[in-house]
Amino acid sequence: MAAATDGARLMDGPAFRRHRRLRRTEAVRGLVRETELTPAHLVAPLFVEEGLDGRAPIDSMPGQARLGMAALVEEARALRGAGVPAVLLFGIPARKDERGTGAYDDGGVVQEATRRLKDALPELLVIGDVCLCEYTSHGHCGVLDADGAVDNDASLPPLADMAVSLAEAGCDVVAPSDMMDGRVAAIREALDGSGLGDTAILSYAAKFASAFYGPFREAADSAPAFGDRRGYQLDPANARMARDEALTDLDEGADMVMVKPALAYLDVLRQVREAVDAPVAAYNVSGEYAMLKAAAANGWIDETRAIDETLTAIRRAGADVVITYHALEWARRR
């Protein structure tokens, strides 16, 4: 008994720190919490389908749906009501072709969606994804050469045209996700030359060739018809190259850069955060969302706590902006 008393006395000495004093109650935990996460840090990705009436649930992404125009406005209104300031739009067009011409059609699905959103919710920040994959019949992110390979330089003009078309429709930010070399410079030049110099560019600078995109490709109908995207997306093993991509895109005129996916690349997110002074976004992608939802549906994890932990981890690693399909359900709980 004396030994126990001596041990307790020893633990109270100056050589020991009582860290648990700052974890004892929710009030003290909140007081010393290092990482802030609020709805204002979130962006909700939304899928809008041309000609759709209402909502079409996405089987691999429980709780998510393709949206018609009216349903899109309804979803955006709910997001704003929960404090989420921004949406990232992906379009599912009624037709596709070899060159993805629907991407830069001024009457295209995302262009029309943007106008509807801006009419209904002028304060909503609308980000338009810039890529050809949803609009090409072959599903690749650029145009193809005679041999069937993605032609980097030939892809730059249609990507720039898409960015200009989206900005003219009212997008506040354009977000090139194609991973073509030089696309940020081409888009910045096209925007400035069209009198759209106030439109910001959020570059998918460090977009990895990831296995976690599967549910998105179902949702957006954007899977490549042949081959894969490893010839232009980043190798998952390369962190230094990701930093270089981010720095290159900032030099070309990007205002913000992104790391995608988020959870399997938190180390890359931290390295990019430390390498740049610009705002950094991270995309909590469809596969990450689907895994959590599946585990929760099986009763293997506490979904509410897991969402909190996931989004906090992304913020803690260095993201100023978190793009996540959890945005609405998380924000509604705040």
Q: Which residues are catalytic?
A: 207, 260
Contacts of 204 by beta carbon, 8 Å cutoff, 6+ apart: 175, 176, 177, 178, 179, 258, 260, 283
The SS3 call for residue 125 is strand
What is the rounded distance in angstroms from the CA atom of residue 243 to the CA atom of residue 208? Answer: 12
The SS3 call for residue 127 is strand
What is the rounded distance in angstroms from the CA atom of residue 300 to the CA atom of residue 288? Answer: 15
In whole angstroms, how far apart are CA 51 and each of 56, 68, 74, 115, 222?
Answer: 12, 7, 16, 16, 18
What is the rounded distance in angstroms from the CA atom of residue 214 to the CA atom of residue 284? Answer: 13
**Within 10 A of 112 (CB to CB), how many other CB atoms are there?**
18
The tokens describing 209, both together, are 């060739």
The tokens describing 267, both together, are 């180390």
Amino acid identity, residue 269? L
The answer to whether 206 and 259 are in contact (CB under 8 A) is yes
What is the rounded distance in angstroms from the CA atom of residue 310 to the CA atom of residue 316? Answer: 10
